[in-house]
Chains A and B, each alone.
Chain A
Amino acid sequence: MNAAELLRRLGVWALGLLRGLGHSAFFFVDLVRSLPWALRRLFLTIAQIHSIGNYSLVIIAASGLAVGFVLALQGYYTLSRYGAAESLGLLVALSLVRELGPVVTGLLFAGRAGTSLTAEIGLMKAGEQLAAMEMMAVDPKERVLAPRFLAGIIAMPLLAAMFSAVGILGGYVVGVLMIGIDPGAFWSQMQNGVDAWDDVGNGIVKSVVFGIACTFVALYQGYEAQATPEGVAQATTRTVVVSSLAVLGLDFVLTALMFSAPR
Chain B
Amino acid sequence: MGRKGIETLVGLFVLLGLLAIVFLALKAANLATFRVGGTYAVTAKFDNIGGLKVRAPVKSAGVTIGRVAAIALDTSSYQGTVTMELEEGIAFPTDTSAKILTSGLLGDQYIGLEPGGAEQNLKPGDQIRMTQSAVVLENLISQFLYSKAAEPGGEQK
**Chain A positions near chain B (C-beta within 8 angstroms):** 43, 46-47, 49-50, 53-54, 57, 93, 97, 154-155, 157-159, 161-162, 164-166, 168, 187, 190-192, 194-196, 198-200, 204, 263
Q: Which residue of B lies closest to A47 (CB)?
A: B6
**Chain B positions near chain A (C-beta within 8 angstroms):** 3, 6-7, 9-10, 12-14, 16-21, 23-25, 27-34, 53-55
Q: Within 8 Å CB of A164, what residues of B?
A: 20, 24, 28
Q: Are B13 and A200 touching (Cβ within 8 A)? A: no
Cα separation A166 to B34 with both chains bound (whole Å): 24
Cα separation A88 to B120 with both chains bound (whole Å): 44
Decide yes or no: A54 and B9 within 8 Å by CB, A158-B14, A194-B30 being known contacts: yes
Q: Which residue of B lies closest to A162 (CB)?
A: B20
Q: Which single member of B3, B13, B30, B55 contacts A49 (CB below 8 Å)?
A: B13
Cα separation A191 to B57 with both chains bound (whole Å): 13
Q: Within 8 Å CB of A43, what residues of B?
A: 3, 7
Q: Which single member of B6, B20, B21, B34 contacts A46 (CB below 8 Å)?
A: B6
Q: Which residue of B lies closest to A262 (CB)?
A: B53
Decide yes or no: A195 and B13 within 8 Å by CB, A158-B20, A162-B20, A168-B28 being known contacts: no
Q: Within 8 Å CB of B31, what residues of A?
A: 196
Cα separation A43 to B11 with both chains bound (whole Å): 12
A contact patch SS: helix
* Nearest-Cβ distance from residue B43 to partner chain A, whole angstroms: 18
Q: Within 8 Å CB of A97, what residues of B?
A: 24, 28-29
Q: Within 8 Å CB of B6, what residues of A?
A: 46-47, 50
Decide yes or no: A191 and B33 within 8 Å by CB, A158-B17, A164-B24 being known contacts: yes
Q: Are B10 and A161 touching (Cβ within 8 A)? A: no
Q: Are A158 and B28 touching (Cβ within 8 A)? A: no
Q: Within 8 Å CB of A93, what residues of B?
A: 28-29
Q: Are A195 and B7 touching (Cβ within 8 A)? A: no
Q: Which single member of A54, A196, A263 contacts B13 (CB below 8 Å)?
A: A54
Cα separation A49 to B55 with both chains bound (whole Å): 37
Q: Within 8 Å CB of B29, what residues of A?
A: 93, 97, 190-191, 194-196, 199-200
Contacts beyond the supplied A49-B10, A53-B13, A158-B21: 18 A-B pairs with Cβ under 8 Å: A47-B6, A47-B10, A53-B14, A54-B9, A54-B10, A57-B16, A154-B14, A157-B21, A158-B16, A162-B17, A164-B24, A164-B28, A165-B23, A165-B28, A166-B20, A192-B30, A194-B30, A196-B25
Q: Within 8 Å CB of A50, what residues of B?
A: 6, 9-10, 13
Q: Which single member of B16, B25, B55 contacts A200 (CB below 8 Å)?
A: B25
* Nearest-Cβ distance from residue B69 to partner chain A, whole angstroms: 12
Q: Within 8 Å CB of A166, what residues of B?
A: 20
